[in-house]
Chain A
Amino acid sequence: MNHLKEKIFFAILGIPVLICLAAILWIILILSTGISTLRWELLTTSVLQGGIFEMVIGTLYLLIGAVGVATPIGVLAAIYLVEYSSKGRFARIIDQALNNMAGVPSIVVGLFGYTFFSRLLGLGISMAAGWLTLMLMILPIIVRGTEEALKMIPSSFKEAALALGASRWRAIHSVVLPAAAPGIITNILLGMARVAGETAAILFTSCVLVTRGLPKSPLEPVMALAFNLFVKITVLGESSERVFGIAIVLFLIVVSIAAAAIVLRIYYRRKQPWLR
């Protein structure tokens, strides 16, 4: 009787796993219809000649720029929250604000970015407006990730530095931060992977369907894979294999960033015995 119960129970537990597997297979199946259109030359050929060069580079520009803006702000905010603010009211308010920020739907963030950065600050449809809007989405991820990484560092490291006569900031930047750096970088990469396919945030703020070459300044609009997919499917009604080819490229970019983060994490786990 017990044996039967167990079998039934495991069967029930297995169903969600099967659903996930089926979904992944389904995605791969759909994407694979685009494989036939992929050529290495596509990556290096201009859009004007039927390639996707500007889209790939544009996507990377947006990602790197957004992370570039979000990283210093996010890391400093996390240091403040972990090391300086005592668990007072102010820290709780910031904490709650971050939770809310992470929960804002991306289309709302995009709308805010459009009205605030593009219109009010006059950045227009530009890469810079896209960076700032994406930053709003990455910031909670980076702050939370950095907080986690900082909390993993044993307090004995900081105590050792303080006992030698180091100031608090000195102890943080010469001991705590270097030890936490791999964890922080891992989390930044994961944040990057999360927003790499983000469409709504750049929809109104920074993208156009076609540009002549790459943007020459942050104030120029940019092409991006996700935006291109969105317009081709919804506006132009294209659903050819070519669209799926673009989707594969975007998918691979996301997966490789996430993979890099995981490899980095495994490598440093091994080198940092206090994480074990």
Chain B
Amino acid sequence: MVKVEIRNLNVWFKTNHVLRNINLKVKENSVTAIMGPSGCGKSTLLRAINRMNEIIEGCRTEGEVLIDNQNIYDKNTNVYELRRRVGMVFQKPNPLPKSIFENVAYGVKIHRMTSGSKIADIVKRSLEEAALWDEVKDRLNDSALTLSGGQQQRLCIARALAVNPEIILLDEPCSALDPIATAKIEMLIRKLSEKYTVIIVTHNVQQAARVSDYAAFLYLGELIEYGPTRQIFENPRNELTEKYITGGFG
């Protein structure tokens, strides 16, 4: 089943044409990796899926992004509801300057999904899903900023899970983390794909090989190659892709 379909997507920042005519279909309950060298537009592509590009001044988007066959760039799309359905985790862990509990509860509260003791249940469930519960269950009221980098990133994942998303976007989630914390997040990503559709941006080729089912290679704003991860890595069709995955440039 196709969860996300990107059709003829073009994005400009002011006069800079960042994404050129992207077409891509993302399968439900899979991990799709978007690889490419710095500045190739992979973060922009990710942020086109929850319309986060819009908060940047001078951004213009053309084309369509369909989630469950609904174009999210339609005029009557509720962008707040869209961002609830499409969770996002950023490159640098960005917990809010609130307690661990409040971080996870934040989205639940703004969407008025539930109240009272039920919020505590959601917080617990989300932290468990993000493999963080055991480490923080005795200090839920501590500031989230007291956690380590890897814990903070898992907290951000829990925060995104708490609002019942369908799709999780991860923007180089491990680039600020040490190898052990990275391994934990990668395990978590595999597990998340059982329930959610995961799209991860990474400039780490090995990571893409380890965690993804499908991989896309982006270069200078164009989608060079897209297919099952195995095929991309074992038998790339494009010369550029081969060069990139073998470390030729990047």
Residues of A near any B CB (own CB < 8 A): 86, 154, 156-157, 159-167, 170, 174-175, 178-179, 272-274
Contact = CB atoms under 8 A, between A and B. Distances in A.
Contact of B83 (A157, A163, A178, A273): A163
A167 B55 CA distance: 11
Task: With a 10 A CB-CB cut-off, give which of A156, A160, A163, A274 has the most chain B CB atoms.
Answer: A163
A164 B50 CA distance: 10
A273 to B, nearest CB: 6
A114 B147 CA distance: 56
B111 A165 contact: yes
Given A164-B107, A167-B80, A157 B97 contact: yes
Contact of A164 (B55, B84, B95): B84
Interface string B97-116: 10000000011001100000
Given A157-B96, A159-B90, A160-B156, A165 B107 contact: yes
Interface string B21-54: 0000000000000000000000000000010100
Contact of A156 (B57, B84, B94): B94
Contacts, number: 64
Interface residue range, chain B:
20 to 34
Nearest to A273: B145
B160 interface: yes
6 contacts: A156-B94, A160-B159, A161-B106, A164-B110, A165-B83, A166-B107
A163 B106 CA distance: 11
B92 interface: yes
B96 A175 contact: yes
A170 B97 contact: no
B52 to A, nearest CB: 6
A162 B110 contact: no
B97 A86 contact: no
Nearest to B79: A165
Nearest to A157: B96
Closest 8 CB pairs of A and B: A156-B94, A164-B107, A165-B83, A165-B84, A163-B88, A165-B80, A160-B94, A179-B97
Contacts of A164: 83-84, 87, 106-107, 110, 159-160, 163
